[in-house]
Amino acid sequence: MSDETASSSGIVLEGIADVEDYVWANEGAGSLPWDPYSLVYDHMEKGNRAFRENHFEEAINNYSRANNMKPGDPVILGNRSAAYMRISQFLKRRSPTASEYRPLNGLDMTTLAGLALKDAERLMSLQNNAARSYILKANALILLERYEMARDIILSGLQLDPFSDILRASLQSLERMPSSLMRTRGHEVLEHTDDFDCTLCLKFLYEPVTTPCGHSFCRSCLFQTMDRSNKCPLCRTVLFIGPRTCAVSVTLNNIIQKNFPEEYAERKSEHDRLINFGNDLIPLFVMDVVIPCQKFPLHIFEPRYRLMVRRIMEGNHRMGMVVNDPATDSIADFACEVEITECEPLADGRFALEIESRRRFRIIRSWDQDGLVFLIIGSYIEWQRLSGYKTYHQRMREIEKISSCLMGETALVFCLCWLGISGVVAG
């Protein structure tokens, strides 16, 4: 750690060593009935006791319960803001070695400082003439490393109360910081470099995933390449990860969102267009003739269709199924919309699906994209005698079950005749 970093992390936060006692006074505007007010008072007493025993999470829980019962109380907001800052300060000063050997669960220090700032701003809107609201907001800004803004808040507070010892001590602590550190932390802007680009799609990283070998890619790009090989695209290290076990890199994703909001919004819009096809656009699976209300399992193993299933499951779970016309060697003019009712990802990247067909539609135009066939729906076709066809399929399943048990052609013919499906027998 450099001297400047050490000095910045060593700033003493004034005014949060203790919290304000909650006075038993339930009069005037905003007063509560005595029973709810006594509960608020009990929560505040428990919260203050936990704060003074350094049990800050317990204190925050009690302050939050009190705030739910009496929102907008200045004492509750100020005490909860101080508790958030004490946890954030503890995490900020915690050594990397301690974090490695004893990891902690919960919110990170930046999020906690942001919650403290939110309560402090609310308190300032209620009590803009109190020095405590200014010092709490300045402390939250210091934890967020917005030093120049914190200095401005302290100066504003000193204009109201020039003799405030807490504000003057906090200002002196800030003035002891190197001016270069205050400038860089206050106006630091990251530049768009190749470090924030995906080496697969050559675009800005979206939902970045960092592999065990240390390389970062777009989540969708990485698993699209892993459909063909389970090795890192850069160093060829074998990866034992999958969509369900590999999470987005939170730190890298937050850096991108906060420093490059426009580029992130553009990539998000592009990704949403790939998974939300709209009402008249649908991906197509070329297989066999499908009739509405038909249910059947499907085993997906081809890389291009794995990609399609992942996109569909992020969207509306629907796709089109069509037969390839052997006479024209192209897809038919009519297809059937199906819905994935069950999807079981397998360890090697394949998918076991349960499909149920919904309705037929006419195809206007189709094209290839990412190895998949997309099409524009012209119109949905009313399927006449739908209940009759559904009954037909149920009867056919009964036939198949009986025939598989009896294992005889005579039994199958007998069942067909008994159910009155003479056309099938004749065929």
Three-state SS for the chain is: CCHHHHHHHCCCCCCCCCCCCCCCCCCCCCCCCHHHHHHHHHHHHHHHHHHHCCCHHHHHHHHHHHHHHCCCCHHHHHHHHHHHHHHHHHHHHCCHHHHHHCCCCCCCHHHHHHHHHHHHHHHHHHCCCCHHHHHHHHHHHHHCCCHHHHHHHHHHHHHHCCCCHHHHHHHHHHHCCCHHHHHHHHHCCCCCCHHHECCCCCCECCCEEECCCCCEEEHHHHHHHHCCCCECCCCCCECCCCCCCCCCCHHHHHHHHHHCHHHHHHHHHHHHHHHCCCCCEEEEEECCCCCCCCEEEEEECCHHHHHHHHHHHHCCCEEEEECEECCCCEECCEEEEEEEEEEEECCCCCEEEEEEEEEEEEEEEEEEECCEEEEEEEEEECCCCHHHHHHHHHHHHHHHHHHHHHCCHHHHHHHHHHHCCHHHHHC
The length of the chain is: 427
Same domain as 310, residue 364 = yes
- Residue 181 is predicted with a pLDDT of 58
Report whether 146 contacts 184 (CB < 8 A): no
- Residue 48 is predicted with a pLDDT of 94
- In this predicted structure, the answer to whether residue 190 has a pLDDT above a threshold of 80 is no
pLDDT single digits (tens) 345-401: 887 778 899 989 888 888 777 777 665 555 555 445 444 434 444 454 565 566 566
Q: Which range among 5-9, 177-181, 260-264, 265-269 shows the weakest confidence by mean pLDDT?
A: 5-9
Same domain as 84, residue 38 = yes
Q: Per-residue pLDDT averaged across 308-335, rounded? A: 82
- In this predicted structure, the answer to whether residue 275 has a pLDDT above a threshold of 50 is yes
pLDDT band at 278 (very low <50, low <70, confident <90, very high): low
| Domain, as residue range, for 101 | 3-187
pLDDT single digits (tens) 57-96: 999 999 999 999 988 899 999 999 999 999 999 888 888 7
CA dihedral sign of residues 109, 112, 118, 123: negative
Q: Per-residue pLDDT averaged across 407-421, rounded? A: 52
Percent of the chain with pLDDT over 90: 23
- Residue 293 is predicted with a pLDDT of 83
- In this predicted structure, the answer to whether residue 413 has a pLDDT above a threshold of 60 is no
pLDDT band at 304 (very low <50, low <70, confident <90, very high): confident
Same domain as 414, residue 375 = no
Of 28-42, 75-89, 248-262, 408-422, which has the strongest mean pLDDT?
75-89
Same domain as 145, residue 22 = yes
Report whether 315 contacts 374 (CB < 8 A): no
Same domain as 139, residue 31 = yes
- Residue 186 is predicted with a pLDDT of 46
Q: Per-residue pLDDT averaged across 392-421, rounded? A: 54
Q: CA-based angle 408:390:330, to the nearest 5?
A: 85
Same domain as 65, residue 198 = no
- Residue 261 is predicted with a pLDDT of 87
Nearest to 318 by CA among 280, 368, 283: 283
CATH assignment of the domain containing 257? 3.30.40.10
Q: Per-residue pLDDT averaged across 2-30, rounded? A: 65
- Residue 86 is predicted with a pLDDT of 94
pLDDT band at 411 (very low <50, low <70, confident <90, very high): low
- Residue 286 is predicted with a pLDDT of 83
Same domain as 368, residue 408 = no
- Residue 199 is predicted with a pLDDT of 92
pLDDT band at 2 (very low <50, low <70, confident <90, very high): very low
Arithmetic mean of pLDDT over the chain = 79
Number of domain units in the chain: 4
- Residue 162 is predicted with a pLDDT of 87
pLDDT single digits (tens) 151-163: 899 999 998 888 8
**How many alpha carbons fall within 13 Å on the CB side of residue 107?**
17
pLDDT band at 311 (very low <50, low <70, confident <90, very high): confident
CATH assignment of the domain containing 94? 1.25.40.10
Same domain as 359, residue 398 = no
Same domain as 65, residue 31 = yes
β-bridge partners, 322? 286
- In this predicted structure, the answer to whether residue 240 has a pLDDT above a threshold of 80 is yes
Same domain as 162, residue 28 = yes
pLDDT band at 403 (very low <50, low <70, confident <90, very high): low
pLDDT band at 197 (very low <50, low <70, confident <90, very high): very high
Q: Per-residue pLDDT averaged across 186-212, rounded? A: 82
- In this predicted structure, the answer to whether residue 343 has a pLDDT above a threshold of 60 is yes
- Residue 205 is predicted with a pLDDT of 93
Higher pLDDT, 9 or 215: 215
pLDDT single digits (tens) 109-153: 888 999 999 999 999 999 888 889 999 999 999 998 888 889 899
Higher pLDDT, 374 or 252: 252
Higher pLDDT, 67 or 408: 67
- Residue 43 is predicted with a pLDDT of 93
| Distances 181 to 5, 168, 176, 292 between C-alpha atoms, Å | 8, 21, 11, 67
Q: Per-residue pLDDT averaged across 26-43, rounded? A: 77
Same domain as 124, residue 68 = yes
Same domain as 138, residue 62 = yes
pLDDT band at 180 (very low <50, low <70, confident <90, very high): low
- In this predicted structure, the answer to whether residue 321 has a pLDDT above a threshold of 70 is yes
